[in-house]
């Protein structure tokens, strides 16, 4: 029976980052993981493998559409699906092995197996009992399906199955125009698949800035994705390797059917805490099935904490990581803190989409006096050279104080560009602070500066 200061259950971005920070702060730490590799959903069947396929399929798109414009002749590039899958596997392996190395470096014990909490201060893994002063649940989330839809991970797949289809399908129906549906839908559309996205609402990516939603949908349509909006999927049946999706158009209340050889169900994720024994410990849950925590990530059971997708808030790897670091610092007697107002969101399509802080709709709801500084990538020299001039940067700032309240970007490297605005917001900066900061030329970042200039006396290149 080993004894620890901290046992973290789950080795996804929340759990492994938490374990490393605990160890760095001098706490004797172990991390429980039942998968064969560390890294959780993100590294094994989520963020990392999807980015590998997004990267590979984007290269194909470039070869098919832009190479010839630059005088590069690479006619009819061929997709070797097995090799692409192997590339993806190598990327996963490189990342998961990296976490194993970091655990060794930081002297963190990997307790192999699925953990449970049989009593306060105790964690059981593979029949062995371990003692911990503090237990941190970082058990993550799992895909949530719809009633009437059974996921078999072959024909009717979640994101997990969609990442390892045994062949490239001909027709794919994606249920849900959220982050997963659009990222994976783009991968397959670029690989030549006829992709139809069926979405319940009248706009894609709920919660995102309205102008970005419209531009994004227009660009995706141009890339070949088809959209059926305002349609509630009722059921999916399968016969002879073909799926039939039944949906109802909400306004007309008419029923329709569409056939596909693969259906991706991307209608959200739900917290995963199966087998941990939370009920027996009397741990309180929220109405939506998340583990209830206080501002310091403490659950209702003494010495048990929870972070990441298993608790409230956006289901994002980096939100989980920040919570992992914060709880480690709190347990080490320091001031751990997460600024939930400055958590960026990124969609890794091409172009990328990113956002931080308030949307215009939210500011209107709050009755805030705000101004908008917008700059199109058409006026950015680097974007023009790279055939990447679709999209814009939009900065929202307080009309009176000029303080940045939010930012929304659709365009090249939007997922990276957003961070200078995040840093500015952390420091409570005004749009003028960004506008007065010298930005190297020629970079995509100049578009951020121009949007900041547009909050004041005007952008230069528009
Ligand atoms: P989501 O919540 O982003 O989108 C689900 C979509 O399905 C919504 O637009 C919803 O209106 C639609 N829908 C629900 N029921 C429907 C029905 N019966 N018929 C038609 N449409 C229906 O969920 P998604 O894309 O599955 O992602 C799950 C989580 O994973 C999210 O929290 C997301 O933030 C996270 N994630 C983040 C990524 C990133 O940061 N790049 C990448 C992948 C996932």
CATH number for region 3-143+270-338: 3.50.50.60
Where does the pLDDT of residue 83 fall: very low under 50, low under 70, confident under 90, or very high at 90 and above? very high
In the reported structure, the alpha carbon of residue 332 is separated from the centroid of ligand 1 by a whole-number distance in angstroms of 36
pLDDT over 80 (residue 20): yes
Q: Could you give the percent of the chain with pLDDT greater than 90?
A: 98
Among the listed residues 55, 130, 419, 441, the single catalytic one is 441
Where does the pLDDT of residue 361 fall: very low under 50, low under 70, confident under 90, or very high at 90 and above? very high
- Helix, strand or coil, per DSSP, at residue 17: helix
Residues having CB within 6 Å of any atom of ligand 1: 146, 175-181, 183, 198-201, 206, 232-233, 266-269, 314-316, 346-348
pLDDT over 80 (residue 104): yes
Q: What residues are paired with 29 via a beta bridge?
A: 6
- Catalytic residue at 134? no
Residues 6+ apart with CB under 8 A from 436: none
| Under 8 Å between Cβ of 5 and 123 | no
Closest CA to 300 of 284, 279, 312: 284
| Under 8 Å between Cβ of 132 and 6 | yes
In the reported structure, the alpha carbon of residue 207 is separated from the centroid of ligand 1 by a whole-number distance in angstroms of 11
| Under 8 Å between Cβ of 407 and 393 | yes
With DSSP H G I counted as helix, E B as strand and the rest as coil, what are the percentages for the chain, rounded to 5? 35, 25, 40
In the reported structure, the alpha carbon of residue 384 is separated from the centroid of ligand 1 by a whole-number distance in angstroms of 32
| Under 8 Å between Cβ of 9 and 123 | yes
Closest CA to 206 of 338, 289, 314: 314
- For ligand 1, atom 11, the nearest C-alpha belongs to 200
- For the residues 85-102, what does the mean pLDDT come to? 98
Q: Which atom of ligand 1 is nearest to the CA of 46?
A: 43
| pTM attached to this predicted model | 0.97
Q: Which atom of ligand 1 is nearest to the CA of 345?
A: 40
Torsion of CA 342, 347, 350, 353, to 10 degrees: -40
156-267: which CATH topology?
FAD/NAD(P)-binding domain (3.50.50)
Tracing tokens 């009593």 back to the chain, one arrives at 119
In the reported structure, the alpha carbon of residue 206 is separated from the centroid of ligand 1 by a whole-number distance in angstroms of 8
Tracing tokens 């493998």 back to the chain, one arrives at 49
Write the pLDDT tens digit of every residue in 238-263.
999 999 999 999 999 999 999 999 99
Query: Rounded CA gap, 131 and 2, in Å?
Result: 6
Sign of torsion over alpha carbons 152, 156, 160, 166: positive
Pocket mutation for ligand 1, best pick of 246, 266, 268 (most atoms within 8 Å of C-beta): 268
Write the pLDDT tens digit of every residue in 157-193.
999 999 999 999 999 999 999 999 999 999 999 999 9
Pocket mutation for ligand 1, best pick of 40, 143, 178 (most atoms within 8 Å of C-beta): 178
The pLDDT score that the predictor gives to residue 256 is 98
| Under 8 Å between Cβ of 338 and 329 | no
The pLDDT score that the predictor gives to residue 356 is 98
In the reported structure, the alpha carbon of residue 4 is separated from the centroid of ligand 1 by a whole-number distance in angstroms of 38
DSSP-assigned letter for residue 419:
H
pLDDT over 90 (residue 1): no
How many other C-beta atoms can be found within 10 angstroms of the C-beta atom of residue 204? Answer: 23
- For the residues 353-373, what does the mean pLDDT come to? 98
Write the pLDDT tens digit of every residue in 298-325.
999 999 999 999 999 999 999 999 999 9
Q: Which atom of ligand 1 is nearest to the CA of 47?
A: 42
- For the residues 386-393, what does the mean pLDDT come to? 97
Where does the pLDDT of residue 393 fall: very low under 50, low under 70, confident under 90, or very high at 90 and above? very high
Q: Which atom of ligand 1 is nearest to the CA of 234?
A: 18
pLDDT over 90 (residue 148): no
Q: What residues are paired with 130 via a beta bridge?
A: 123
Q: Which atom of ligand 1 is nearest to the CA of 198?
A: 20
Query: Rounded CA gap, 128 and 113, in Å?
Result: 10
| Domain boundaries, given as residue ranges, for the chain | 3-143+270-338, 156-267, 342-454
Say whether 342-454 and 156-267 share the same fold.
no
- For the residues 32-40, what does the mean pLDDT come to? 98
Query: Rounded CA gap, 371 and 41, in Å?
Result: 39
Write the pLDDT tens digit of every residue in 427-457.
999 999 999 999 999 999 999 999 999 999 9
Query: Rounded CA gap, 172 and 193, in Å?
Result: 7
Q: Which ranges constitute the DSSP H helices of 130-171?
A: 159-162
State the CATH class of domain 342-454: alpha beta
Where does the pLDDT of residue 75 fall: very low under 50, low under 70, confident under 90, or very high at 90 and above? confident
In the reported structure, the alpha carbon of residue 141 is separated from the centroid of ligand 1 by a whole-number distance in angstroms of 13
């Amino acid at each position: 029976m080993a004894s620890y200061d901290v046992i973290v259950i789950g080795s996804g971005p929340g759990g492994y980052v938490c374990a490393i920070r605990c160890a760095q702060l001098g706490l004797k730490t172990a991390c429980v993981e039942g998968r064969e590799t560390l890294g959780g959903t993100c590294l094994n069947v989520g963020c990392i493998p999807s980015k590998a396929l997004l990267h590979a399929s984007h290269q194909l798109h470039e070869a098919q559409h832009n190479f010839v414009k630059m005088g590069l002749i690479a006619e009819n590039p061929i997709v070797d699906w097995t090799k692409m899958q192997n590339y993806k596997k190598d990327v996963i392996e490189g990342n998961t092995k990296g976490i194993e190395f970091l655990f060794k470096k930081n002297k963190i014990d990997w307790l192999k197996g699925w953990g449970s909490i049989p009593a306060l201060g105790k964690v059981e893994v593979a029949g062995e009992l371990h003692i911990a002063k503090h237990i941190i649940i970082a058990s993550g989330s799992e895909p949530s399906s719809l009633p009437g839809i059974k996921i078999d991970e072959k024909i009717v797949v979640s994101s997990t199955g969609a990442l390892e289809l045994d062949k490239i399908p001909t027709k794919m129906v994606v249920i849900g125009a959220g982050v997963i549906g659009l990222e994976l839908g783009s991968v397959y559309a670029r690989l030549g698949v006829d992709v139809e996205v069926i979405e319940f609402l009248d706009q894609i990516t709920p919660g995102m800035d309205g102008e970005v939603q419209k531009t994004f949908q227009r660009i995706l349509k141009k890339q070949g994705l088809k959209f059926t909006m305002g349609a509630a999927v009722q059921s999916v049946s399968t016969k002879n390797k073909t799926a039939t999706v039944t949906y109802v158009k909400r306004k007309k209340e008419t029923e329709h059917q569409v056939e596909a050889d693969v259906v991706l169900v991307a209608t959200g994720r739900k917290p995963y805490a199966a087998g941990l024994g939370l009920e027996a410990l009397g741990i309180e849950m929220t109405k939506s099935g998340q583990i209830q925590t206080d501002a310091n990530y403490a659950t209702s059971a003494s010495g048990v904490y929870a972070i990441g997708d298993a608790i409230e808030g956006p289901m994002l790897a980096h939100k989980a990581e920040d919570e992992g670091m914060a709880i480690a610092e709190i347990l080490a007697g320091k001031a751990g803190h997460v600024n939930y107002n400055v958590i960026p969101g990124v969609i890794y399509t091409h172009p990328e989409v990113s956002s931080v802080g308030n949307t215009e709709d939210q500011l209107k709801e709050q009755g805030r006096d705000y101004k908008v500084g917008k700059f199109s990538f058409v006026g950015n020299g680097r974007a023009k050279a790279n055939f990447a001039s679709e999209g814009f940067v939009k900065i929202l700032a307080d009309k009176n104080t000029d303080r940045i309240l939010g930012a929304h970007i659709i365009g090249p490297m939007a997922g990276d560009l957003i961070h200078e605005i995040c840093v500015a917001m952390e420091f409570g900066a005004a749009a003028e602070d960004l506008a007065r900061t010298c930005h190297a030329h020629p970079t995509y970042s100049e578009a951020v500066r121009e949007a900041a200039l547009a909050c004041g006396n005007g952008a230069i290149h528009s």
